[in-house]
Amino acid sequence: MKSMPERIENMTPDEQFSAVANLKDELEENFLSLGQLLSEIKRSKSFRRKGYETFKDFVESEYALSSTLAGKLVQVFDVFIEEMDVDEVKVKEIGFDRLQMIKPLVQKADWDERDDWVQKAEEMPTKDLRDYIKELKKKEKEQDIDLKKVLIDQFLERMVAVFNCSRTELNFKLALFFQDADTDEIKKVVRERQRSFESALNKEESA
């Protein structure tokens, strides 16, 4: 675990609130620290100490910060630091804008490709990176088969048949099943199965 997360985790909620206020005016310089602070506040729900029911109301009222931007800051920290464990210096050098550009692609990429995206963001100028991503998205739209979508459709069809219900009713039943589940264990299982699924796809493509 890096030193920065440890320092923030040791802060009291009031110290975290104060730190957000001090950092938000220089967003580009402080986006990583802000993302970590907001991630911790959101995760712990410490905003309720200030009388707010939702994270959205908290950031918008306390800091005049749009909840959309706050969410992006949280996601950048969660994806690149918490999940991928990218070096903090590298993340800061890439910058918030380029990280935002690659984040959706990183989130759906397999584990072997994620580091490649970080390297591209580090090496390519912003305009070249934007054009590269635009061209890639265009090619993806031209593909006829999305195997992940096939898997989703097959699963939903099977579960609808099992429960003999509509898809709307299926969503309700799945919500009942997952509402008290161990989210950490779920994430662990999903990560393992995603790796296995994507590895199998890569083998088929390279065969």
Domain encompassing residue 152: 147-206
* Diameter over CA atoms, the chain: 58
Please tell me whether residues 197 and 156 are part of one structural domain. yes
Please tell me whether residues 63 and 23 are part of one structural domain. yes
Please tell me whether residues 152 and 124 are part of one structural domain. no
Please tell me whether residues 15 and 71 are part of one structural domain. yes
Domain count, the chain: 3
**Those residues with Cβ within 8 angstroms of residue 121's Cβ, 6 or more apart along the chain or in another chain:** 94, 98, 99, 101, 102, 129
Whether residue 161 lies inside any domain: the answer is: yes
Q: How distant is the alpha carbon of residue 30 from its chain centre?
A: 19
Q: For the whole model, what pTM was predicted?
A: 0.60
Please choose, from the candidates 73, 60, 75, 68, the residue with its C-alpha nearest in 3D space to the C-alpha of residue 29: 73
Whether residue 90 lies inside any domain: the answer is: no
- Looking at 48, 83, 118, the residue that finishes a domain is 83
Both ends of the chain: CA-CA distance in Å? 39
Tokens representing 53 are: 């029911």
Please tell me whether residues 4 and 78 are part of one structural domain. yes
pLDDT (tens digit, 0 to 9) for every residue of the chain, 207 residues total? Answer: 344 444 666 778 888 888 787 777 677 788 999 999 999 999 999 999 999 999 999 999 998 889 999 999 999 999 999 999 999 999 999 999 999 999 999 988 888 789 999 999 999 999 999 999 999 888 776 554 567 788 888 999 999 999 999 989 999 999 999 998 888 899 889 888 888 887 877 776 665
Distance CA 145, CA 141 (A): 10
The secondary structure of 14-47 as a DSSP string is: HHHHHHHHHHGGGHHHHHHHHHHHHHHHHHHTGG
